[in-house]
Amino acid sequence: MARSYLVLEDGTVYEGEPFGYRSDAFGEVVFATGMCGYQESLTDPSYQGQILVMTFPLIGNYGTTDDFYQSDKVHARAVVVREYCKEPSDMYAGKTIDEFLRDNKVPGISGIDTRDLVIKIRNGGTLKGAVTEDRESIPDLVEKLKAAPAPSEGNLVGEVSCKTVQRFDENKEITVGLLDCGEKGGILRDLRSRYNVIMFPYDTPADVIIESKVQGVLLSNGPGDPSHPMILKHTARTVADLSSQLPLFGICFGNQVTALALGGKTYKMKFGHRGCNQPVMYEGRVYITSQNHGFAVDDGSLEGTGLVADQFNVNDRTVEGMRHKDLPIFTSQYHPEASPGPWDTSFLFDRFGKVIKEGHL
């Protein structure tokens, strides 16, 4: 039987079986705790550059289907599972996860003790890793992994953002802008069901957005480090310029860029939050949220920015959302569009329209 290896920069090697597309891969090894939603996660552009470990022990049991794509392809560089399902329920009459990964040219590795791997990441933080079937190459690979720059040091947003302005006219009363840092299809879906949308590349200057006459701007999710020089130069500049002119709603990367644009700071978390079961305390209630992030806003850095953190993760107290004291700006670190996950917080998309109409939070 063919063997495949997950090799970590600290020299740890996990042996398993290859599935999906047969190739090597390199990325930041992160874990997600959702029990379902594997297809949405794998196609979420925010996973660009990452090797995704699924903590749920059986992945692929309901197959895959065209409806669940969050973009046009798989963005994770490899998938690590305990077991994958070879004969899924055919309720969606789609492809198996094995076929889906082969079509998308992304390798999987199964038979891994994902509990052990996740404890390692949780204790020591995320690591760079590689998937290979070439056992002989492992000692060299460990050296290469140690020396390789973290994938999040690249301009990952530039790789996934749209290249030209796109319009979605839905015959609605309100028209919003979407600053695309690697938006998930679920965000565009939830905007289009309520508003006309004009989507802009991540490096669009504020005056171009203002000229288009949008009435508010949603700042999307996206991969990599929000304090990357290209993001500070373009996206954060745009958000800073827009902040005094239009209502803004930032989701995930958009939340982080809002903090940076107004003078706050972000930092890399030890292992992040990924999955559809992250509890967030907001106005005295706990919402179960969908998340995928490895960076966070530094609460202590918000003083003097006008922003206040008003939502917190129940598990580790990190910032999960902000609002501006005077301006119509609000954010969430989690994903109100779910895709995958619970719809507890989809009301934020309605709130965006209300804020646009009323001009204040």
Ligand X SMILES: NC(=O)CC[C@H](N)C(=O)O
Q: Which is nearer to ligand X, 63 or 254 (CB)?
A: 254
Quote the CA–CA distance of 311 and 322 in Å, as a whole number.
7
Q: Annotated binding residue at 222?
A: yes
252 near ligand X (CB under 6 A): yes
To the nearest whole angstrom, how small is the minimum distance from the Cβ of residue 51 to ligand X?
A: 14
| Cis peptide, bond prior to residue 340, ω within 30 of zero | yes
Contact 334, 296 (CB under 8 A): no
46 near ligand X (CB under 6 A): yes
Quote the CA–CA distance of 305 and 39 in Å, as a whole number.
38
Quote the CA–CA distance of 88 and 91 in Å, as a whole number.
9
Q: Annotated binding residue at 108?
A: no
Look up residue 187 and give its two tokens. 């965000």
| x/- map, 193-212, ligand X, by CB under 6 A | --------------------
From the number of C-beta atoms within 10 Å of its C-beta (0-12, 13-18, 19+), residue 309 rates as: buried
**Which of positions 293-312 make contact with ligand X (CB under 6 A)?**
293-295
Quote the CA–CA distance of 132 and 117 in Å, as a whole number.
17
Catalytic (active site) residue 335: yes
Among 70, 221, 290, 332, binds ligand X (CB under 6 A): 221
Q: Annotated binding residue at 227?
A: no
**325 CB neighbour count, 10 Å cutoff:** 10
Quote the CA–CA distance of 290 and 292 in Å, as a whole number.
7
Quote the CA–CA distance of 122 and 186 in Å, as a whole number.
29
Catalytic residue among 40, 183, 252, 324: 252
Q: Which is nearer to ligand X, 216 or 222 (CB)?
A: 222
Catalytic (active site) residue 252: yes
158 near ligand X (CB under 6 A): no
96 near ligand X (CB under 6 A): no
Q: Annotated binding residue at 253?
A: yes
Residues that bind ligand X (CB under 6 A): 46, 221-224, 226, 252-253, 292-295
Q: Which residues are annotated as a binding site for L-glutamine?
A: 46, 222, 224, 253, 256, 292, 294-295
Catalytic residues: 252, 335, 337
